[in-house]
Amino acid sequence: MKLRIENLCCTIGERCLLDTLNTQVNSGEIMGIIGPNGAGKSTLLKHIAGILPCKNIFLDEKELSTLSVRERAKEIAYLSQFATTPSMSVLEVLELGRRAYSGMLLSTKDKALIEESIQHFNLSSLLERNIATLSGGERQKVLIAGALLQEPKVLLLDEPISHLDPKNQLEMLLAMRHVTQHKALITLIVLHDMQHAIHYTHRLLMLKNGRIIHDTPTKEIEASMLQTLFDVQTSLHVNNGHTFVYYGHHHDETHEKHHH
């Protein structure tokens, strides 16, 4: 299965937010969307999610704009950076993830999937808690668990780890990688941290001023691409098979002037 975007444009007033985007993502693949603020990253995800018009976006040969809201909920799960959390218990949030399939009455299969999710995300001690009272990391875990219970084909994550501590960031990224590969999802994630983008994605879509300036396999990334993208001097260093990104003058370069 593949998600295909053809000549996607978005103009609000005089402002062009997305300018003729073309790309495709295959199942089992994580595409990281990176770029400076205002580049159009969140706007792109909103189009795919159907929050903004989704003409010119196809899941295999099906144009997303032809789907009903309920059909789309079965295909696409979207977790926004500013997800509002309703006043519900954790268990109710998880059950909501199955409602697109079962309506109000949950089947034995639904209950088994919810139980599996509770174990996978280690949520058993939180089930009765109101989601609004959880810490940022716990809340994000519950929301992603609920999103995955929709059994979507496409998972859209808009900066899902921005407000999490390092332990929860790592848990979230590992969970994303695990489910993408095991459930053959098409995953698009907006990330701010280039280190995470390099370690946890297969492809990088680089957006600037609403245009794609690079669409490349992550392992083929070059410092010059990031330099153009962020307008800042960038260097990449490989250590034990891991790539590290440095901005500005790296500390092992000396730029001191010696006065006599």
Q: Are 213 and 73 in contact (CB under 8 A)?
A: no
Helix or strand (DSSP H, E) at 46: helix 41-49
pLDDT at 79 over 50: yes
Cβ proximity of 213 and 229 under 8 Å: yes
Domain match, 142 and 254 both: no
Whether 93 is in a domain gets the answer no
Mapped onto helix, strand or coil, the DSSP state of residue 62 is strand
User: Do residue 147 and residue 60 come from a single domain?
Assistant: yes
Same domain, 135 and 234: no
Do 30 and 137 reside in the same domain of the chain?
Answer: yes
Phi, then psi, of 78 in degrees rounded to 5: -125, 125
Sign, Cα dihedral of 67, 70, 72, 74:
negative
Residue 52 counted as domain residue: yes
Helix, strand, coil % over all residues of the chain, rounded to 5 = 40, 30, 35
Task: With a cut of 70, say whether residue 200 has pLDDT above it.
Answer: yes
pLDDT for residue 80: 80
Ranked by mean pLDDT, the top range of 88-102, 144-158, 202-216 is: 202-216
pLDDT value at 259 more than 60: no
One domain, residues 64 and 13: yes
Q: Is 95 inside any structural domain?
A: no
What confidence score (pLDDT) does residue 239 get? Answer: 85
Q: Which of 159-163, 170-174, 187-191, 244-248 has the highest mean pLDDT?
A: 187-191
In a domain, 97, yes or no: no
CATH number of the domain residue 80 falls in = 3.40.50.300
Q: Are residues 66 and 147 in the same domain?
A: yes
Would the pLDDT of 67 be above 80?
yes
Query: At 256, is the pLDDT very low, low, confident or very high (cuts 50, 70, 90)?
Result: very low
- Does residue 254 surpass a pLDDT of 50? no
Q: Are 141 and 260 within one domain?
A: no
Q: Of 74-88, 94-108, 212-226, where does mean pLDDT reach its minimum?
A: 74-88
Predicted confidence at residue 249, as pLDDT, reads 65
Number of other CB atoms surrounding residue 84 within 10 Å: 6
pLDDT above 60: residue 258? no
Q: What is the pLDDT of residue 68?
A: 87
* Residue 199 pLDDT grade (very low, low, confident, very high; cuts 50, 70, 90): very high
What pLDDT sits at residue 185?
94
Residue type, 123: L
Residues 207-217 have pLDDT tens digits of: 998 899 999 99
Q: Tell me, yes or no, whether 232 and 153 share the same domain.
A: no
Residue 103 has pLDDT above 80, yes or no: no
More confident residue, 237 or 55: 237
SS3 209: coil
Segments forming the whole domain that contains residue 257: 222-260
Q: What is the pLDDT of residue 81?
A: 66
Largest CA distance in the chain: 83
Specify if 112 maps to a domain.
no
24 and 73 fall within a common domain: yes
Domain count, the chain: 2
Q: Is there a single domain that holds both residue 77 and residue 136?
A: yes
Please return the burial class of 55, using the count of CB atoms within 10 Å of its CB with bins 0-12, 13-18 and 19+.
Answer: middle
Does residue 241 sit in the same domain as residue 175? no
Nearest to 143 by CA among 177, 97, 198: 97
What percent of the chain shows pLDDT beyond 90? Answer: 37
Could you report the per-residue pLDDT of 104-143, keeping only the tens digit for each? Answer: 788 899 999 999 999 988 899 999 999 888 887 788 888 8
In a domain, 199, yes or no: yes
Tell me, yes or no, whether 69 lies in a domain. yes
185 shares its domain with 247: no
